[in-house]
Chains A and B, each alone.
Chain A
Amino acid sequence: MKNLRAAHRYAVALMAVAEEQHVVDRVASDLELVGSVIRGSREVQLFIASPVIFVGRKKSVFRALFGTRVGRETLAFLELLVTKRREALIANIAEQFATLRDEKYGIVNADVTSAVELDPPQGQELKEHLERFTKKKVRVRFSLDRSIIGGLLVRIGDTVLDVSVKHQMEQLRQRFLEGGPELN
């Protein structure tokens, strides 16, 4: 939890710099790349986590790894993290930065679960509906889950829009248990 807070601060600082220099999108894609490299290699993970390796060595390894593939700002930021001995937070910072960027552009993520695959026009229509509902741009991620039987389950942040058959049947069951409104 403490680390998350630190990660948030670094992400906010990086966002401020990126905004000043109008390179928000490039920094975001750079961080995505860095994140995927780290996730993809156990060796890199161990290298970053190791406290034994000197700061100078770490910096030079970072330069060799990303020097040509990321922008000047991102590289400087990575070096700063190493100097501050916060390199373990890189993955978290990348995540936080992505969230900050989405906030800035008014984009929300929506996880859509359906029982059957949606065809592209259906997906597009759903996206438009969600954009009207949230009054923001929506990035939709689709997934399949047969257990909801039918309908849709949309999750945006903490809010769930539940039109699944499974949920409706559960509600119906509750109603029968309680005894409906017009009994007796």
Chain B
Amino acid sequence: MAEVRPEEVSAILRKQLAGFEKEADIYDVGTVLQVGDGVARVYGLTKALMSELIEFPHGVFGMVLNLEEDNVGCILFGESSEIKEGDVVKRTGRVASMPVGEQMLGRVVNPLGQPTDGRGPIKTEKVMEIERKALGVIQRQPVKEPLQTGLKAVDGMIPIGRGQRELIIGDRQTGKTAIAIDTIINQKYTHSEKAKKEGIKPVYCIYVAIGQKSSNVAQVVDKLQQEGAMEYTTVIAATASDPAPMQFIAPYSGATLGEFFRDTGRHALVIYDDLTKQAQSYRQVSLLLRRPPGREAYPGDVFYLHSRLLERASKLNEELGGGSLTALPIIETQANDVSAYIPTNVISITDGQIYLEPGMFNSGIRPAINVGISVSRVGGNAQIKAMKKVAGRLRLELAQYRELEAFAKFGSDLDKATLQQLRRGSRLVELLKQGQYVPMTVEKQIVSIFSGTNGYLDEIPLEHVQRFEKELLEMTELKHVDMLAEIAMTKDLAEDLTKRLHEILKGFTESFKASVKV
């Protein structure tokens, strides 16, 4: 690098000064009446708009949330300890907004779009409002493409479509975030050349962390980086130490960024982890703003808080580019209580839920999905034909298994049919187990589930089922890549393919049984 010469510096300074106008600056002001934890009441600001950004001293920004007769109630996005009574507040004339663009991918930002990963400023061309109205009926079309999570249990039985809202609900430590992270990692496939040939469009991911520990967020980012998933992912983090107002607006920022991708004809997936904490921070600011409390002390509009957010998930019609925004909200329950206020609200808003149970988690069934009460209300249309064919019976057989499970204790006293039912069920449960961070492509899932629902596992001892699956998939990948490719390409299981699968499985099962006996 050449050394900096003084005239260069002054040249730059002159350039900057040249564009500086000396016109009068006109702005509206108010005076701080009262500051609380994350909220302030401001006298004046008579022309302030709802959800307008306002500027406090020391570079703290706030957002108008209450418009009253002679004062406005604001939430603060910075240190409220810096603000004093009597401070002068300025209107910015802008509604709270967020910079959007491809430049946001791979970055960790706060809910206002400012980077927090220490990798320099983000230069985007566009800024979009945080609170946007959801699209109407005319602009939408039914969900039709699958969003593969890479988890057999989800893609097989609770399929999620692009543009759907699927709730992930469960107690703490039941693997809710794990499902979300696996889904993000699995989208790596959609960015590959192979997916392009198969006509699968890339999915951009946004992970919104609300009220989590910073160490958790760091871990997630680290994992995504290791898996190469950060290239198409933005992490929006409002951690536990951020002010409650930040946590409250974080999901809306995430939705806005997702809408940018959707409106430019692309596909986006946004994960809100988790909305329970967002509702709690909204409760905090609402109570501080003296809005009346309702059930569980939440304000009256807490339903609208989530409904307007999740309604923004959508699948656009073809004239608008056919983009989509899929939402995976996460809700944490206390002691399995899904009838609490926030869980019931969000269950009723979403198009289905994935229900995770600590009991199953602890008995080693992971992902700990309770298939009986988990549903997907629209995703079925989005499943590829091949998956529909093999997984249709999966759900039914598991349901029958659960009914009979209680009888399993009686062992040999049962009739043959029941025993067979139990045997099949237990093997399917074993088959649906899947490790974390190992998403599976849909064609492999099909082969795997096919082997289970067609009874090839029935003769295999339970403890060998996972090894069976692993070796089966390795073998198919080695010797029958063309078949896997054909399933992926045609997305259907034609008759000859079914026949071929049966043949492969027959041969493989024989040799596997031999290996078990030895």
Task: Show the binding face of A for B, using Cβ within 8 Å.
Answer: 1, 4-5, 155, 157-163, 167-168, 171-172, 175-176, 180-183
Distance between B45 CB and nearest chain A CB, rounded to angstroms? 6
Cross-chain contact B25 with A171 (CB below 8 angstroms) = yes
User: Which of B16, B24, B30, B47 is close to A180, meaning CB atoms less than 8 Å apart?
Assistant: B16
CB-CB under 8 A from B22, the residues of chain A are 163, 168
Given contacts A162-B27, A163-B25, contact A5 B47 (CB under 8 A): no
Cross-chain contact B27 with A159 (CB below 8 angstroms) = yes
| 9 interchain residue pairs of minimum CB distance | A180-B16, A162-B25, A163-B24, A158-B44, A158-B28, A182-B15, A161-B24, A158-B46, A160-B29
CB-CB under 8 A from B13, the residues of chain A are 176
Is B514 interfacial (CB 8 A cutoff)?
no
Distance between A158 CB and nearest chain B CB, rounded to angstroms? 5
Task: Show the binding face of B for A, using Cβ within 8 Å.
Answer: 12-13, 15-17, 19-20, 22, 24-30, 44-47, 69-70
Cross-chain contact B19 with A182 (CB below 8 angstroms) = yes
Distance between A161 CB and nearest chain B CB, rounded to angstroms? 5
Could you give 18 example pairs across A and B, Cβ below 8 Å? A1-B70, A155-B29, A158-B29, A158-B47, A159-B27, A160-B26, A160-B27, A160-B28, A160-B29, A161-B24, A161-B25, A162-B26, A163-B24, A163-B25, A172-B20, A176-B13, A182-B19, A183-B16
CB-CB under 8 A from B20, the residues of chain A are 171-172, 175
User: Which of B16, B27, B44, B47 is close to A182, meaning CB atoms less than 8 Å apart?
Assistant: B16
Residue of A nearest to B71 (CB): A1
CA distance A1 to B73 in the complex (A): 14
Distance between A24 CB and nearest chain B CB, rounded to angstroms? 24
CB-CB under 8 A from A159, the residues of chain B are 26-29
Distance between A79 CB and nearest chain B CB, rounded to angstroms? 29
CA distance A183 to B16 in the complex (A): 8
CB-CB under 8 A from B25, the residues of chain A are 161-163, 167, 171
Cross-chain contact A158 with B26 (CB below 8 angstroms) = no
Residue of B nearest to A182 (CB): B15
7 new A-B contacts at CB < 8 Å, known A168-B22, A181-B19: A155-B29, A158-B29, A158-B30, A162-B25, A172-B17, A176-B13, A182-B15
Cross-chain contact A180 with B28 (CB below 8 angstroms) = no
CB-CB under 8 A from A181, the residues of chain B are 16, 19
CB-CB under 8 A from A171, the residues of chain B are 20, 25
Listed residue (B16, B17, B69) with the most chain A CB atoms within 10 angstroms of its CB: B16
CA distance A167 to B24 in the complex (A): 10
CB-CB under 8 A from B24, the residues of chain A are 161-163
Distance between A25 CB and nearest chain B CB, rounded to angstroms? 27
Given contacts A162-B26, A163-B24, contact A175 B44 (CB under 8 A): no
Listed residue (B12, B24, B69, B70) with the most chain A CB atoms within 10 angstroms of its CB: B24
CB-CB under 8 A from B44, the residues of chain A are 158
CA distance A181 to B12 in the complex (A): 11
Distance between B433 CB and nearest chain A CB, rounded to angstroms? 53
CB-CB under 8 A from B29, the residues of chain A are 155, 158-160
CB-CB under 8 A from A157, the residues of chain B are 46
CB-CB under 8 A from B47, the residues of chain A are 158
Cross-chain contact B15 with A180 (CB below 8 angstroms) = yes
Given contacts A1-B70, A163-B25, A183-B12, contact A158 B19 (CB under 8 A): no
Cross-chain contact B70 with A4 (CB below 8 angstroms) = yes
CA distance A112 to B24 in the complex (A): 14
Distance between A146 CB and nearest chain B CB, rounded to angstroms? 18
Listed residue (A158, A167, A176) with the most chain B CB atoms within 10 angstroms of its CB: A158
CB-CB under 8 A from A161, the residues of chain B are 24-26
CA distance A167 to B20 in the complex (A): 13
CA distance A5 to B71 in the complex (A): 13
Distance between B190 CB and nearest chain A CB, rounded to angstroms? 35
CA distance A168 to B25 in the complex (A): 9
CB-CB under 8 A from A5, the residues of chain B are 69
Cross-chain contact B45 with A158 (CB below 8 angstroms) = yes
Distance between B12 CB and nearest chain A CB, rounded to angstroms? 7
CB-CB under 8 A from A176, the residues of chain B are 13, 16
Residue of A nearest to B46 (CB): A158
CB-CB under 8 A from B69, the residues of chain A are 1, 5
CB-CB under 8 A from B16, the residues of chain A are 175-176, 180-183
CB-CB under 8 A from A168, the residues of chain B are 22
Residue of B nearest to A170 (CB): B25
Residue of A nearest to B33 (CB): A1
Listed residue (B19, B26, B45) with the most chain A CB atoms within 10 angstroms of its CB: B26
Residue of A nearest to B22 (CB): A168
CB-CB under 8 A from B12, the residues of chain A are 180, 183
CA distance A5 to B13 in the complex (A): 54
Distance between A164 CB and nearest chain B CB, rounded to angstroms? 9
CB-CB under 8 A from B19, the residues of chain A are 180-182
Distance between B230 CB and nearest chain A CB, rounded to angstroms? 27
CB-CB under 8 A from A180, the residues of chain B are 12, 15-16, 19
Distance between A135 CB and nearest chain B CB, rounded to angstroms? 15
CA distance A159 to B45 in the complex (A): 9
CA distance A1 to B25 in the complex (A): 32
CB-CB under 8 A from A1, the residues of chain B are 69-70
CA distance A181 to B18 in the complex (A): 11
CA distance A4 to B33 in the complex (A): 15
CB-CB under 8 A from B28, the residues of chain A are 158-160
CA distance A163 to B44 in the complex (A): 21
CA distance A4 to B20 in the complex (A): 44
Distance between A35 CB and nearest chain B CB, rounded to angstroms? 20
CB-CB under 8 A from B70, the residues of chain A are 1, 4
CA distance A172 to B12 in the complex (A): 14
Distance between B364 CB and nearest chain A CB, rounded to angstroms? 55
Distance between A47 CB and nearest chain B CB, rounded to angstroms? 29
CA distance A182 to B47 in the complex (A): 34
CA distance A182 to B27 in the complex (A): 26
CA distance A177 to B52 in the complex (A): 25
CA distance A182 to B12 in the complex (A): 8
CA distance A183 to B15 in the complex (A): 8
Residue of A nearest to B28 (CB): A158
CB-CB under 8 A from B46, the residues of chain A are 157-158
Distance between A83 CB and nearest chain B CB, rounded to angstroms? 27
CA distance A46 to B24 in the complex (A): 47
CB-CB under 8 A from A158, the residues of chain B are 28-30, 44-47
Residue of A nearest to B13 (CB): A176
